[in-house]
Structure 1
Amino acid sequence: MTNAFPRSWRVLLLPGWLDSLPAHWQSRWQTLHGFDKVEQDDWRWPRRGDWMARLDEVLLADHRPPLLVAHSLGCQLVASWAAHSRQAERVGGALLVAPPDTERADMPPQLFNWRPVTREQLPFASIAVISSNDPYCANERGRAMATAWGSEIIDIGARGHINGESGLGDWPEGLALLRRIAERAKR
């Protein structure tokens, strides 16, 4: 197993609602690179406060500074958590992929407690990766959230929800973006 990052960084994978399936790039990165996935107690009915508390627990269990790799609802977790946690100053940076618009009228009721979307600037470097045809977030809404968070925006074109169904495989381009964050990160 090879890890593209110095052992001084702890890479934490933050899946979205319902977790990441085996074909998802996050699951592949976990297997290929030994990154740590933050396991949530309830993937079906995610409570924002519970997910935030779990992220704090995971961070407190290891002294290494983390790099956060969030997909979908995991992006909303990063934004909400960073606005409230005392641990946010330890984070080196975040890769935020396919943030969903939880304020949309057609969101499932399981995600209603993720409203309103947190729109505070993140206290660490971040890159937001969005798709032009994400079924869970209009492109302009994704850009607006990323701008509010202070993230660099990368639009990768029509790649759906940037998940296992997007045909990304091991997604080396995403890993390159994470390397960029690691190089820019404050230590």
Structure 2
Amino acid sequence: MHTTPTVLFVPGLRDYVADHWQTLMQARLPRAACVPPLEHHKLSCAARVAALDKALGGIEGPVVLVAHSAGVIATVHWARLHDRPIHGALLVTPPDLEVPMPAGYPTCDALELNGWVPCPREPLPFPSVVCASRNDPLAGFERVARMAADWGSRLLDVGKVGHLNPAAGYGEWPLAKSLIDALCEQPPSMQSSNVAHSA
């Protein structure tokens, strides 16, 4: 069994985006995979949780999850339902799905109908880092800080980076590599309580 963690990327609702930092980072890592795009039921939270669980089932050894946007929310829903050990998780700019989002995004009613809300707030059973933007159009900083506290995650203020997607200029996000490396290199015995503090 491999002892070096595999990095599994968990994309948001837009799935594969060629110039997204997740896609670019996956291509550079020696042991990396991505949850495949959904062909059907693209807005279904349960379908995304099932796709994440299936992807994890195909990986032997430790796993570090790297989730962005709605992928973060799918990850915490998965964690509430499954008990597979996870080495660590990088949770980047989770959206606040419990308040109306800008035009062009799913409505609160559609998100509730598809199982996204309420968002789980139980402490995660693995070490995690939540990256919060100061000007994310999909979530206020204080709301994301509250999510991180509830999940027992370390909160990292990454500044004014929008939603950390190509529309906000990312593309490349160099900080991701050091954050992923730190999660991969931590001892497997670390618990989420060891990293539950603000940066």
The question of a shared fold, defined as TM-score above 0.5 by the shorter chain, is answered with yes
What is the TM-score when the length of structure 2 is the normalising length?
0.83
The residue aligned with 2:193 is none
Structure 2 vs 1, CA of residues 26 and 44 (structure 1 numbering), >3 Å: closer, same or farther? farther
Matched residues in 2 for 1:111 and 1:23: separation? 26
Q: 1:97 aligned to 92, 97, 103, which one?
A: 92
Question: Identity over the aligned pairs, expressed in percent?
Answer: 36
Shift of 1:185: 4.5
Equivalent residue number for residue 139 of structure 1: 141
CA contact (8 A) 2:3 2:62 kept: no
Over aligned residues, Cα RMSD in angstroms? Answer: 2.0
Asked whether the 8 Å contact 2:16–2:37 carries over to 1, the reply is no
Q: Which amino acid aligns with 2:106?
A: P
In 1, Cα distance between the equivalents of 2:96 and 2:16? Answer: 18
Number of equivalenced pairs = 180
Q: Which structure 1 segments of 5+ residues have no match?
A: 1-5
- What SS does the aligned partner of 2:128 have? strand
Alpha carbons of structure 1 residues 19 and 185: separation in structure 2 relative to 1, 3 Å: farther
In structure 1, the residue matched to 2:111 is 111
Deviations 1:119-159 (A, max 9, x none): 01111111110100000001111110111111111111111
Cα distance change of structure 1 residues 168 and 40 upon mapping to structure 2, 3 Å threshold: closer
TM-score (norm 1): 0.88
1:40 and 2:37 matched: yes
Q: Unaligned 5+ residue runs, structure 2?
A: 190-199
1:12–1:43 distance in 2 versus 1, CA, 3 Å: farther
The 1-side partners of 2:187 and 2:116 are apart by 28
